[in-house]
Amino acid sequence: ILNVEQSPQSLHVQEGDSTNFTCSFPSSNFYALHWYRWETAKSPEALFVMTLNGDEKKKGRISATLNTKEGYSYLYIKGSQPEDSATYLCAFQAGTALIFGKGTTLSVSS
């Protein structure tokens, strides 16, 4: 059974704080690692898809890194804003389908 672990489970920060989350995944049969943002009452939205060891991707204040050899990825948010409040999901792809972690729920207070 493939297991994708995310930590922490939840996080509460103040506006302007920078934060990061961890995703651990199997280091074998790796094809890609996805990050999604899931806001309340909306559909999960793709942030990044990473395939190569050492990949770093950035979108605005959000960035992600990938280490396929040791099986982990970090998601960073610089200068958190209240609109960043959401659940952040990572998903491991070995074949066609994605295996999701349980997510990290971020709450940003103004």
CA atoms within 13 A on the CB side of 38: 16
Rounded Cα–Cα distance for residues 54 and 31 (Å) = 14
- Give the three-state DSSP class for 94: coil
40 touches other proteins (CB under 8 A): no
Rounded Cα–Cα distance for residues 61 and 73 (Å) = 17
Instruction: Please give the radius of gyration of the chain, using alpha carbons only, rounded to the nearest integer.
Output: 13
Q: Site for other proteins (CB under 8 A): how many residues?
A: 24
* Binders of other proteins in range 57-96 (CB under 8 A): 89, 91, 93, 96
- Of these, 46, 58, 59, 61, which contacts other proteins (CB under 8 A)? 46
52 touches other proteins (CB under 8 A): no
Closer CB to other proteins, 1 or 14, in the complex:
1
Contacts with other proteins, residue ranges (CB under 8 A): 31-32, 34, 36, 42-49, 51, 89, 91, 93, 96-103
